Amino acid sequence: MNKQPSILKILTIDYIAFLGWIFPVVIWASYILSYFIRSVKINFFPLPVVYIAITIAALIVVLWRIQVIYSVFSDGMEAPATINRISFFRDRGKVDYVYTHQGQKYVSSNSIHRVKQTLALKIEDQVVVVIDRNHPKKAFIRDLYI
């Protein structure tokens, strides 16, 4: 398969990746804001260290998630699927779909972020999924990431 996913789409649509990059942005913005309104003593040593540790952990999660999605797309197989459930709670969602791979039926899901493209998905929609060759239960809806 030649099509590679877009990093921008991974970061905005995949909920795990979205949290991984937005969380450090929010904590550092709040830290900078608190510096300017003087509500936090800047010489309070542990706070920046904790924020740096959180940022590193979050970036590791983002890189891991991008790598997982890229590996499935680079070596995966496409198959038709049918969305059988979709739900949203605030800004996060989950889409479940059914597909057949080598004669066996699979039900898989993706954690998604509530954006225009994911809100357009409906139950019974026909989509194309990219399936991990080594773990056929792991799949991603192709058009969400390309």
Predicted TM-score of the model (pTM): 0.85
42 and 93 both lie in a single domain: no
Domain termination residue (choose one: 21, 46, 74):
74
pLDDT exceeding 70 applies to what percent of the chain?
93
**Where do the DSSP E strands lie in the chain?**
77-89, 92-101, 104-113, 126-131, 139-141
The residue segments making up the domain with residue 31 are 7-74
**How confident is the model at residue 40, as a pLDDT?**
55
Among 24-28, 31-35, 121-125, name the one with the lowest average pLDDT: 31-35
* pLDDT tens digits, 28-67: 898 888 777 765 555 556 778 888 999 999 999 999 999 9
pLDDT of residue 30: 86
pLDDT reported for residue 86: 96
pLDDT reported for residue 50: 86
Q: What is the pLDDT of residue 7?
A: 95
In a domain, 117, yes or no: yes
pLDDT of 43:
59
Domain count, the chain: 2
Q: Do 11 and 21 form a contact (C-beta atoms < 8 A)?
A: yes
pLDDT of amino acid 39? 57
Structure tokens at 126: 């026909």
